[in-house]
Structure 1
Amino acid sequence: MSERESMPYDIVIVGGGPAGLSAAIRAKQAATEAGIELAVCVLEKGSEIGAHILSGAVVDPRALDELLPNWKDLDSPLTVPVTENHHWILSEKKKYEFPHGLMPPFMNNKGCYTVSLGNLCRWLAGQAEALGVEIFPGFAAAEVLWNDDGSVKGVATGDMGVARDGTRKDSYQPGLELHAKYTFFAEGVRGHLSKQLIRHFELAKDVEPQVYGIGIKELWDIDPAKHVPGRVIHTQGWPLGEANGGGWIYHQANGQVSLGLVTWLNYSNPYLSPFDEMQRWKTHPEIKALLTGGRRVSYGARAINDGGWQSVPKLTFPGGALIGCSAGFVNVPRIKGSHTAMKTGMLAADAAVAAITAQRQGDELQSYIDAYKASWVYEELRGVRNTLPLVEKTGNVVGTLLAGVTMWAEHLGIRMPFTLSHHRDNEQLKRKDHVHRIVYPKPDGVISFDKLSSVFLSNTNHEEDQPVHLTLRDPDIPIQHNLPLYDEPAQRYCPAGVYEIVEVEGQPKFQINAQNCVHCKTCDIKDPTQNINWVVPEGGGGPNYPNM
């Protein structure tokens, strides 16, 4: 007999991001329209809604217009419309402005807003609670629960108060089981439970592998004379000579600038460090001039789905569905996924409410798949499906030109007769003796910084005496395999200083500083042998982003 208590719901949603909250709101709306009562809850592993949310972000309000048509009257945080669009191609010392008129029309950000996505989620949570949605922050869904017929029954939250050695501390509390007619997984990129479900139900067997980038972000208070509310800048080129990706600079509310660099995780040189590339990017004369006289106030990192249309897995399974970035709905050239995440959450909610109204329970929500394929999300992603592979295969300059041609063609109704493939990011590294070592400049503490002072600004905290949530399938692989072949790349691809090679009695040892983890998931993605398995720590652990 389990000592865990259980609670029944109609719909349980794992993850309090844009997709999960939009699904919760839409489920309540649809239930009212159908004339039924519906019990909906949202589990969020962060200490509060928004604590683990990190994005650029420029938000397209298309889904929000559908979800809450009167959102402008509800004191939403979308208050800074995009006023300018710039695309810079950088060399080490110069920038070249790409004519924005040559961009496909959907790239111009007309009608979009610069905003903290964390604050948007906090506001959405308020709208959900006003409709009767129960939201439980600080509760990490750690286990999928199953019915006897193999369908998903719900989830269980992790036990609290377990010591690192597995014993129970005085503060021990068993997890809670949440049973549902339908469970939505909205964990974001590379979700712990979503990954298990994709494997268990073979949801990705007929699609291309998902590929990823890592976004390193900082928030700065800058000189008011340099701040232009609504100015949006994207950069391409330097310093990513050995990788693909690009930067962003968004002038947001309150005199702040959101800026960061995305590095695609298909890079081959194991000495590359996405964190250090971002710090170097800030030293470009144009960017340094913007930041001089300002103050860095926040830091964080998060992986990003880059696979697009051809990597979206099957969305449903008996008893549940994947929504938002758990399934990978990011539009890569637009650098946007919040609007598509919200819309897919809404589509899944409509399908679940219809099934519950028809007194079905635990079946597959085929109507969600059908609605997705008939939606603007599907069309938007299909039109840009070849952008990333073209850049990857032919390089930044040629690839960008070819991608532009295909996007213009799709915009004009000329359907490209091909869909390019992807290759798994963890399989792309070359051996250390086949590449050159990258030497990064030392941080100056004014414009560029080190990892530990950066992690401090993320407000990351984990209870130190708890099981390490960065688990190794084989503890010998880091030293016996990764170190001799790749000089253990985890030391460099992690943006938080979690992984180190230290010397103990004259021998190298792989050390995991789990308390530094900002939950970006890069290690789970890029480890060459997929030896690192990221699992949820105690609820409430991790970063506490105020407005990222």
Structure 2
Amino acid sequence: MRYDVLVVGAGPAGLSAAIRLKTSSQAAGKDISVCVIEKGAEVGSHILSGNVLETKALDELIPEWKEDPDCPIKVKVTSDAFRVLASPTWSLRLPTPPTMHNKNKNYVVSLSEVTRWLAKRAEALGVEIYSGFAGKNLLYNWDGVVEGVATNDFGIAKSGQPKSNFAPGVDLRARVTLLAEGCRGSLSEEVISRFGLRQAAGAQHQTYALGIKEVWQVPEAQHKAGTVVHTVGFPASHNTYGGGFIYHMADQKVALGYVIGLDYDNPHINTFQEFQRWKQHPAVRKHIEGGTCLQYGARTLNEGGLQSIPKLSFPGGALVGCSAGFLNVPKIKGTHTAMMSGLAAGEAAFRQLTSDKAPAKGPVDMSTYEEALKRSWVWEELTAVRNIRPGFRAGLIPGLLHAALDAYVLRGKEPWTLRHGRPDNEHLKPLSAAPAPPAYAKPDGVVSFDLPTSLYRSGTNHEHDQPSHLKIKDEGEFERSNLPHYGGPETRYCPAGVYEYRADQYGRQKLHVNAQNCLHCKACDIKDPGRNIKWTVPEGGQGPSYTAM
């Protein structure tokens, strides 16, 4: 199947690119074919974000969005609070940092719902959207230029043999391929490596965090739509970057989540249990106690900021959204910047495809996309906050003091740029030098839960009889290194219980991979000390099933 433009990923960035392409082509009386593929069973089913939406990019993309009765962006922020959880039971409210001012201007949303709405807008313009199709491999022409994507085969057994329901994947070829897979996309990582995009931009490695989130239904008396609370401190140690968010949405729903930087050094940390501990704090618990947990999920996010953005274009296409990494960490927002990157990419693709100098067929050059984005407010915004996240390498209190200095005095205009240090997978201390394991209490079944219960709420599902999408490069490395040196950290950093050790017939501990549990968060691809796990796509349509995340 051939298209002018192929977009991989129906998130905010990919859909913004598709919409801008179609509106531009229709305004110019041109016919540009646009296809979007999405690995989730439905648009939005793999979208997870603790989201207070800044509508700057949306205002430019769809100026009349407020007039659309189907638009789910309705709850404006009514209050901001910033709390330091100083102990397991006590907290202190501090002035809300300027970057976190949301009251009366930003909106509390479910990004799953927003992407479904954007998809309807895109389809109404003539964009073809195919859910349940995972981009497995990039297609290259004889010159090594990307010319599309091959989707995953369906109906392959664990043995590698086709089953009775076998259906081959499809080659989708395009003159422009836009990778909008989100954080740590497998195809995006391939082009970054193959074309040396980090080196070409002089960029540092990416650094990441893991966000774990729930959505609750709470009693009416407990609900205050538009309430926004951010926390730092407990349960994170002084040298662990982390924080929480509590957002009161529409319809008596509350979204809350805990984010932990994946550069933590204690191999005993269990990310799922840290989230359960955080919810037990009185400052958090009061928002959800008496309510019902509806959904659970997890996703990694880029925290490298400006320093870690690679070259954005490659032969035959470009990186948009979190595939490149435009998260504004101190704002705790990335949707508006991701959408703007998609908008800029769509505009650049349109101009290149309709240029008098464009080749009659074949790939076009997308380098003007990066040039345009660097002239936009996105680059200005990320430049101003570039030093805040690396400033926390010194610990929580020094990080907060540095962030205050940056926000109130320097205002992002300092002539230096801090570096991120080592990649996240190199930070774990060996057991001999590690702090004591945290004390994790049993779940109370009221605000804290066990992992199987939470996984059930994620709706995640994978066909058992298929090759594992979690590729282990060296099968014995976990038993030789991870288990004796770090205590098997993959059993704790994964928030879905994918990795566990079981005794074999000789009593030796062997790693077992429960790929069917996978939430597609990709923490394993990032945090494994030996980078021995490669996340790839399973059969299309499988994984979590988020509706309100």
| TM-score band, normalised by shorter chain | over 0.9
Deviation of 1:33 after TM superposition, in Å, equals 2.6
Matched, 1:218 2:218: no
Deviation of 1:150 after TM superposition, in Å, equals 1.1
1:54 to 48, 60, 65: 48
Matched, 1:487 2:493: no
Deviation of 1:403 after TM superposition, in Å, equals 1.3
Equivalence map 1:380-529=2 (5 Å): 380-392=381-393, 394-409=394-409, 411=411, 415-422=413-420, 423-435=422-434, 436-505=436-505, 506-529=507-530
Q: Please, what TM-score do these two structures have when normalized by structure 2?
A: 0.96
Q: Please, what TM-score do these two structures have when normalized by structure 1?
A: 0.97
Match of 2:371 in 1: 370
Give the stretch that moved more between structures: 60-69 or 358-367.
358-367
Contact 1:409 1:415 in 2 (8 A): no
Deviation of 1:437 after TM superposition, in Å, equals 2.2
Contact 2:99 2:330 in 1 (8 A): no
Matched, 1:143 2:142: no
Q: Deviations over 1:398-417 (max 9, x none)?
A: 21121121123454xx6111
Distance (Å, rounded) in 2 between the aligned partners of 1:34 and 1:256 = 43
Distance (Å, rounded) in 1 between the aligned partners of 2:427 and 2:289 = 37
Distance (Å, rounded) in 2 between the aligned partners of 1:272 and 1:470 = 22
Note closer, same or farther for the CA distance 1:105–1:143 as it changes in structure 2 (3 Å cut): closer
Give the stretch that moved more between structures: 447-456 or 49-58.
447-456
Match of 1:81 in 2: 76
Contact 1:59 1:114 in 2 (8 A): yes
Match of 1:167 in 2: 161
Match of 1:266 in 2: 263
Contact 2:313 2:366 in 1 (8 A): yes
Please state whether the residue corresponding to 1:57 is helix, strand or coil: strand
Structure 1: gaps of 5 or more residues: 1-6
Deviation of 1:367 after TM superposition, in Å, equals 1.0
Deviation of 1:135 after TM superposition, in Å, equals 0.2
Deviation of 1:480 after TM superposition, in Å, equals 0.9
Contact 1:104 1:404 in 2 (8 A): no
Distance (Å, rounded) in 2 between the aligned partners of 1:74 and 1:437 = 52
Distance (Å, rounded) in 2 between the aligned partners of 1:254 and 1:45 = 29
Please state whether the residue corresponding to 1:142 is helix, strand or coil: strand
Distance (Å, rounded) in 2 between the aligned partners of 1:47 and 1:324 = 21
Deviation of 1:94 after TM superposition, in Å, equals 1.1
Deviation of 1:35 after TM superposition, in Å, equals 2.2
Aligned residues between the structures: 537
Q: CA RMSD in A?
A: 1.1
Equivalence map 1:527-546=2 (5 Å): 527-546=528-547
Match of 1:9 in 2: 3
Deviation of 1:110 after TM superposition, in Å, equals 4.3
Deviation of 1:312 after TM superposition, in Å, equals 0.5
Distance (Å, rounded) in 2 between the aligned partners of 1:61 and 1:524 = 32
Deviation of 1:504 after TM superposition, in Å, equals 1.4
Distance (Å, rounded) in 2 between the aligned partners of 1:384 and 1:82 = 23
Equivalence map 1:118-267=2 (5 Å): 118-205=112-199, 206-241=202-237, 243-267=240-264
Distance (Å, rounded) in 2 between the aligned partners of 1:286 and 1:537 = 39
Contact 2:76 2:103 in 1 (8 A): no
Distance (Å, rounded) in 2 between the aligned partners of 1:538 and 1:426 = 28
Q: Deviations over 1:493-539 (max 9, x none)?
A: 00000000111121101000000000000000000010000000000
Contact 2:240 2:395 in 1 (8 A): no
Structure 2: gaps of 5 or more residues: none
Contact 1:34 1:357 in 2 (8 A): no
Q: Deviations over 1:462-498 (max 9, x none)?
A: 0110000011011111111111110110000000000
Note closer, same or farther for the CA distance 1:119–1:108 as it changes in structure 2 (3 Å cut): closer
Deviation of 1:304 after TM superposition, in Å, equals 0.6
Give the stretch that moved more between structures: 537-546 or 284-293.
284-293
Distance (Å, rounded) in 1 between the aligned partners of 2:100 and 2:547 = 30
Deviation of 1:108 after TM superposition, in Å, equals 3.7
Note closer, same or farther for the CA distance 1:331–1:109 as it changes in structure 2 (3 Å cut): farther
What letter corresponds to residue 429 of structure 1 in structure 2?
L
Contact 1:409 1:416 in 2 (8 A): no
What letter corresponds to residue 279 of structure 2 in structure 1?
K
Q: Deviations over 1:13-66 (max 9, x none)?
A: 000000000000001011123321010010000000000000011010110000
Distance (Å, rounded) in 1 between the aligned partners of 2:446 and 2:78 = 29
Please state whether the residue corresponding to 1:533 is helix, strand or coil: strand
Contact 1:9 1:179 in 2 (8 A): yes
Please state whether the residue corresponding to 2:389 is helix, strand or coil: helix
Distance (Å, rounded) in 2 between the aligned partners of 1:492 and 1:231 = 32
What letter corresponds to residue 245 of structure 2 in structure 1?
W
1:341 to 335, 338, 341: 338
Contact 2:80 2:101 in 1 (8 A): no
Please state whether the residue corresponding to 2:280 is helix, strand or coil: coil
Deviation of 1:444 after TM superposition, in Å, equals 1.2
Match of 1:316 in 2: 313
Please state whether the residue corresponding to 2:259 is helix, strand or coil: strand
Deviation of 1:105 after TM superposition, in Å, equals 5.8
1:290 to 284, 287, 292: 287
Match of 1:304 in 2: 301
Give the stretch that moved more between structures: 361-370 or 104-113.
104-113
Equivalence map 1:25-36=2 (5 Å): 25-36=19-30
Contact 1:40 1:134 in 2 (8 A): yes
Contact 2:254 2:288 in 1 (8 A): no
What letter corresponds to residue 492 of structure 1 in structure 2?
R
